Each structure stands twice: as structure tokens, then as C-alpha cells.
Amino acid sequence: MPTETQLANLNRDNSLQHGVFARPGNLMACDRCPLRNGCDRCQPGGRCALEAEYVESRTRQIAALPFIGPEDLPAVSILVWLECRIARGQAYLANAGDLLPGHASHYLECQPLTEKLGGVVNTYQRMLTSLGLTPGERRKLTATGEAGPAASLAAVIRELSNERKTVEAEFEARDEEGCDHE
């Protein structure tokens, strides 16, 4: 049996307060940020204010899509978390470079993050697909009537087919061949 808190988290507005979305512990620590030297909002000992704003606005943007329901909010949270991780990785690599200097002048080694970032991007792509946020998935949703203009039409058709209307009329029975038998 779900607890009251779990049930409250299903409410879209409450889930923001109850921690379904990114909490401060998930945000970049300003002390470890690769861009801290050029950031005017960096607070030593604090968490990234820019990332917090992005998480909130992006989560609301995706959650507002017509085919995203309350049951999708944990997946949306993971998607936005992945976007932040990719952006962090790209910022780090832009700052530090893709390669580490090797032990010898002719030997170069890839940053370990370069290899890991590909896996994060693949996971991100799978999350986009599962939420119907890729162009191909949106076309499928539109074709099946689950998103876009076709969704409105499909909803009206479903509503009409669910209504059971009876038509009362007077009629006279006739023979199939149209001949009256006396």
C-alpha cells in the first residue's frame, strides 16, 4: 500500500517539492566546476545556480508536453539529469581538452571522460526515445493518434464511439424481395 508521501509525489506540483526531480545533491558543486573561474554566479561551497534553474525550467518544459503524464515524471527527471551530465562533460573537455599528454612525446592518451561520455549520450538517446521526444517517435505517436493533431481527432472518435446512442424510429417490415405477401 503506497504511503501518503508516495501518493503526494504523483501530483505534478508536489513532486517538485518532494524530491522526484533533481535535488541539490545532484547539482554541480561550485568548487568542482570546470567553469568556476569564469562564472559570475559561482559560490564557494555552494551548488550551481545555473544548473538548478536549467533543471527546473527544462523539467517543466518537458512535463508540459501533451503526451507526458505524471507517470513519466521520474523518467523526465533522469533525462534532465543526463542533459546536465552531458553538458558538464562537454564543458570539462572544452576546458581540459580531449587528450592527456602521454609519458613520451609521441604518445597521447584519451581523457577517460571521452570514453564514458559516449555511454551517457546513448542512455540519453534511449530516454528521449522512451519518452517520445525524438522526431521518429513523435511521428509514430502522431500516426497512432497519441500526439499532435491526430490525438485530438482520435480522442473525439473514442468519445463518440463510447457514447451509446439509441435511435428510435417507426418502420414497417417488408420482404427482402420487396414484394408484399397477402
Q: 103-162: per-residue pLDDT in tens? A: 666 777 888 888 899 999 999 999 999 898 988 888 887 777 666 555 555 565 666 666
The verdict on residue 170 lying in a domain is no
Is the pTM for the entire model greater than 0.75?
Answer: no
Three-state DSSP class for residue 170: coil
Instruction: Check if the beta carbon of residue 34 is closer than 8 Å to that of residue 96.
Output: yes
Q: Say if residue 39's pLDDT is above 70.
A: yes
> Structurally, how many domains does the chain consist of?
1
CA pair distance 138, 142, nearest whole angstrom? 6
Q: Say if residue 18's pLDDT is above 60.
A: no
Give the containing element (helix H, strand E) for 135: helix 135-144
The verdict on residue 45 lying in a domain is yes
Beta strands in 70-165 (DSSP E): 99-101, 108-110
CA pair distance 89, 46, nearest whole angstrom? 20
Residue 108 pairs in a beta bridge with 101
64: containing domain = 4-150
The verdict on residue 19 lying in a domain is yes
C-alpha cell at 165: 446512442
Higher pLDDT, 76 or 5: 76
C-alpha cell at 5: 508521501
Report pLDDT for 16: 46
The verdict on residue 178 lying in a domain is no
For residue 88, how many other CB atoms are within 10 A of its CB? 20
